[in-house]
Amino acid sequence: MEVEVKFKADKDIEDRIRSMAELVCEKEEIDLYFNSPVRDFRKSDEALRIRKDSEGVKITYKGPKIDPETKTREEIEIRVDNYEKAVELLKRLGFVPVREVAKRRRIYRLENVTICFDEVKELGMFVEIEIKSEDLESAKRKIFEIARQLGFDPAKSIRKSYLELLEDSDKEINRGARN
């Protein structure tokens, strides 16, 4: 399980992250999200994406969120050898490309915790704090402790994915255009 929280951030936050955690890598991640022909993943709270970055290509399925305070969910991920063929394969199986999410991500590590400083195209800066663990409660305690140390209010954690935030922002723009 991927136990994870996300917060809206600004540039200063990254200095604080740098002072407590170690930079592991920096990369551009391009994610292409798909919807299912069987059930609307927006409603079932699932996600399917192909990610392309400097390390290669991965297909990831995310199950529904299982916790009210965090973005915690089951994740199944496989590495694949070819982006274009993976996209074509999913399309032939009936999956529909929905939207691309592009970001520059710097990944920091603090013991078993991963802290990502993300600059997301069209959305701005965010911090994600994550532990891979089957022990939800203890992982949450640790994650919220680090969030507080970075100056975040746990009550302001964002449960929406970048995809959902982008879709919300599209709606805002359309509403603005109609007014």
Nearer residue to its own copies within complex by CB, 79 or 171: 79
Tokens of 39: 């059930």
Residue in 66, 89, 136, 158 binding its own copies, rule: CB under 8 A: 89
76 is a site residue for its own copies (CB under 8 A): yes
Which residues are within 8 A (CB) of 158 and not within 5 positions of it... i.e. 6 or more apart? 6, 7, 8, 126, 165
Site for its own copies in 27-46 (CB under 8 A): 36-39, 46
CB of 134 to its own copies, least distance (A): 16
22 is a site residue for its own copies (CB under 8 A): no
Nearer residue to its own copies within complex by CB, 63 or 154: 63
Reduced DSSP (H G I as helix, E B as strand, rest coil) percent helix, strand, coil of the chain, to 5: 30, 40, 25
Stretch of residues binding its own copies (CB under 8 A), selected from 23-31, 70-78, 120-128, 133-141: 70-78
Nearer residue to its own copies within complex by CB, 20 or 93: 93
134 is a site residue for its own copies (CB under 8 A): no
| Residue 28 three-state SS | strand
How long, in residues, is the chain? 179
79 is a site residue for its own copies (CB under 8 A): yes
Does the annotation mark 33 as catalytic?
A: yes
Stretch of residues binding its own copies (CB under 8 A), selected from 87-95, 129-137, 145-153, 155-163: 87-95
DSSP 82-143: -HHHHHHHHHHTT-EEEEEEEEEEEEEEETTEEEEEEEETTTEEEEEEEEE-S-HHHHHHHH
CA-based nearest residue to 138, from 175, 111, 174: 111
Place of tokens 């965090």: 70
Nearer residue to its own copies within complex by CB, 58 or 140: 58
Instruction: Return the active site residues.
Output: 33
Where do contacts with its own copies occur on this chain (CB under 8 A)?
36-39, 46, 48, 59, 61, 63, 76-82, 85-86, 88-89, 92-95
